[in-house]
C-alpha cells in the first residue's frame, strides 16, 4: 500500500521485458446520472455535508467520508464522482448518494444499477531507473522539459492518448487513461522510450554538440557567400543641387543696382547736355550762374529796340 494526501492506495506491479514496473491508481473520475431532476436547494438545507452556492457554481458538492470521495450533483440528475481509487468505490458512493437523495426527495427513485463511465484515471508509477530528462527531451519531439519552471518532463502520447510526467528518479505520473489497461500500456511505452535514449548525453555534451553544429552552419554560410558572384555595384546618381534661398535676393539686388546705375548715367548725360547749352560764364562774378543768361536777353531786347528805332527813322 502506498500513501498520498493521508490516503492509502493499493500498490500493483507488472513485468515488462524482464523489468518490474510498479503503479498505484490514485484517482478515478466517473460520470453518471440518476434519471431525475434534483432539488439542490432542499438537499443542501437538509444534508449537512452538501454545499450549494449557485452564485459561484451551478452544482452542489457532496463530500463522503466512506468511501472518501466527492460528488457533484446537478439539477438534471447528472453526477460526477472523483477521488476513488477503484471502481468498486464508485459503485458504493453512487448507491449511497442515491439512497440519501431518495430520503429527502422521494420523487427520485432508488436505482438497482446506475450506469456510469470513467472519464479519467490518474496513477503513479516507478520505472526503477534514473532518467536523463535533458537527453529525453532533445531526442523525442513529444517531450517538453523546462527545469526552471517544473522539475519534471512532460511526455504526451497519441496511442494510447494520455499524458505522463517523468522525473529523474524514475517516478512517473500518468493521467488521461480511460481504464487500467490503457494506463499499463502507457507505462510500457514510456519505459521503452526512456531506455532507448543514448547513454552519456549530458547537458554539457549536448550543448557542445549544438555549438559545433552552429559553427559548421556558419562556416557553410561563409563558403556560400564567397562562392557567390559579387553583385554589381549600384550606380549612385548625385542629387541635384538646390540653389540657396538667398540667390534670388542677390539677383534682385544686382538688378536694382543696375537700374540705379542706368538712372545715374541718364542723369549725368542730361546734365552734360544742359551744361553744353549753357555759356561758360566763369569770369563773371556772382553767385547765380544763370544770371548771364538774363543779361543776354536784355541785350537782345536793346538791339531790337535800336533796330526798330532805325527803321522808324528810315521811314521818316
Of 119, 151, 181, at which residue does a domain stop?
A: 119
Same domain, 262 and 314: no
Which pLDDT value is given to residue 293?
A: 45
Assess if residue 76 is contained within a domain: yes
Total tally of structural domains belonging to the chain: 3
Average pLDDT over residues 19-33: 96
pLDDT at 117 over 60: yes
Cβ proximity of 73 and 34 under 8 Å: no
At 3, the pLDDT band (50, 70, 90 cuts) reads low
Average pLDDT estimate for 59-85: 95
CATH number at 33 reads 3.30.310.10
pLDDT tens column, 248-268 = 443 445 555 556 566 565 555
Same domain membership, residue 86 and residue 70: yes
100 in a structural domain? yes
Averaged pLDDT score across all residues of the chain: 78
Q: Measured between alpha carbons, how far is residue 23 from residues 13, 76, 123, 169, 217 in Å?
A: 6, 37, 7, 15, 46
102-111, 159-168, 206-215: range with lowest mean pLDDT: 206-215
Kindly state whether residue 145 falls inside one of the protein's structural domains.
no
Are residues 285 and 272 located together in one domain of the fold? no
Quick check: is 259 in a domain? Answer: yes
Element (H, E) at 23: strand 19-33
255 with 293, same domain: the answer is: no
Indicate if 293 and 310 belong to the same structural domain.
yes
pLDDT digits (tens, 9 = 90+) for 285-310: 444 444 444 444 555 666 777 777 77
Q: How far apart are CA 253 and CA 248, in angstroms?
A: 9
DSSP state of 105: -
94 in a domain, yes or no?
Answer: yes
Is residue 122 predicted with pLDDT exceeding 80? yes
Q: What is the extent of the structural domain holding 292? A: 281-316
Flag whether pLDDT at 279 surpasses 90. Answer: no
Q: Are residues 255 and 312 in the same domain?
A: no
Look at residue 24 and tell me if it is in a domain: no
In Å, what is the CA distance from 276 to each residue of 269, 272, 279, 293, 299? 11, 6, 7, 14, 21
| Least confident range of 96-105, 118-127, 200-209 | 200-209
One-character DSSP codes across 246-278: HHHHHHHHHHHHHHHHHHHHHHHHHHHHHHHHS
Task: Give me the pLDDT at residue 284, please.
Answer: 41
pLDDT at 227: 57
Same domain, 93 and 68: yes
Choose one of 119, 138, 156: the last residue of a domain.
119
Whether the CB-CB separation of 137 and 124 falls below 8 Å is answered with no
pTM value?
0.60
pLDDT confidence tier of residue 196, bands split at 50, 70 and 90: confident
Do 93 and 72 lie in one domain? The reply is yes
On whether residue 131 sits in a domain, the answer given is: no
Q: Is there a domain that residue 147 lies in?
A: no
Lowest mean pLDDT among 44-48, 160-164, 195-199, 210-214: 210-214
Amino acid at each position: 500500500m502506498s500513501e498520498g494526501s493521508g490516503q492509502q492506495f493499493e500498490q500493483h506491479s507488472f513485468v515488462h521485458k524482464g523489468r518490474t514496473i510498479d503503479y498505484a491508481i490514485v484517482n478515478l473520475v466517473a460520470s453518471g446520472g440518476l434519471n431525475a431532476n434534483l432539488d439542490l436547494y432542499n438537499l443542501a438545507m437538509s444534508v449537512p455535508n452538501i454545499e450549494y452556492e449557485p452564485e459561484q457554481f451551478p452544482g452542489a458538492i457532496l463530500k463522503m467520508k466512506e468511501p472518501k470521495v466527492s460528488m457533484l450533483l446537478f439539477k438534471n440528475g447528472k453526477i460526477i464522482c472523483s477521488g476513488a481509487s477503484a471502481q468498486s468505490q464508485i459503485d458504493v458512493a453512487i448507491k449511497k448518494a442515491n439512497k440519501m437523495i431518495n430520503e429527502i426527495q422521494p420523487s427520485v427513485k432508488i436505482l438497482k444499477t446506475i450506469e456510469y463511465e470513467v472519464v479519467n484515471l490518474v496513477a503513479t508509477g516507478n520505472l526503477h531507473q534514473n532518467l536523463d530528462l535533458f537527453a529525453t527531451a532533445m531526442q523525442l519531439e513529444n517531450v517538453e522539459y523546462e527545469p526552471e519552471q517544473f522539475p519534471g518532463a512532460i511526455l504526451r502520447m497519441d496511442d494510447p492518448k494520455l499524458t505522463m510526467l517523468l522525473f529523474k528518479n524514475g517516478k512517473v505520473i500518468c493521467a488521461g487513461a480511460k481504464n487500467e489497461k490503457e494506463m499499463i500500456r502507457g507505462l510500457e511505452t514510456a519505459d521503452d522510450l526512456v531506455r532507448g535514449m543514448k547513454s552519456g548525453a549530458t547537458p554539457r555534451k549536448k550543448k557542445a554538440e549544438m555549438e559545433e553544429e552552429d559553427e559548421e552552419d556558419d562556416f557553410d554560410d561563409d563558403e556560400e557567400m564567397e562562392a557567390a558572384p559579387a553583385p554589381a555595384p549600384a550606380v549612385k546618381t548625385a542629387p541635384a543641387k538646390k540653389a540657396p534661398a538667398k540667390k534670388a535676393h542677390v539677383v534682385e539686388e544686382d538688378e536694382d543696382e543696375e537700374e540705379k546705375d542706368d538712372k545715374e548715367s541718364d542723369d549725368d548725360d542730361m546734365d552734360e547736355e544742359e551744361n553744353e547749352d549753357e555759356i561758360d560764364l566763369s569770369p563773371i562774378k556772382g553767385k547765380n550762374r544763370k544770371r548771364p543768361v538774363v543779361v543776354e536777353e536784355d541785350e537782345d531786347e536793346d538791339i531790337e529796340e535800336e533796330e526798330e528805332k532805325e527803321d522808324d527813322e528810315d521811314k521818316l
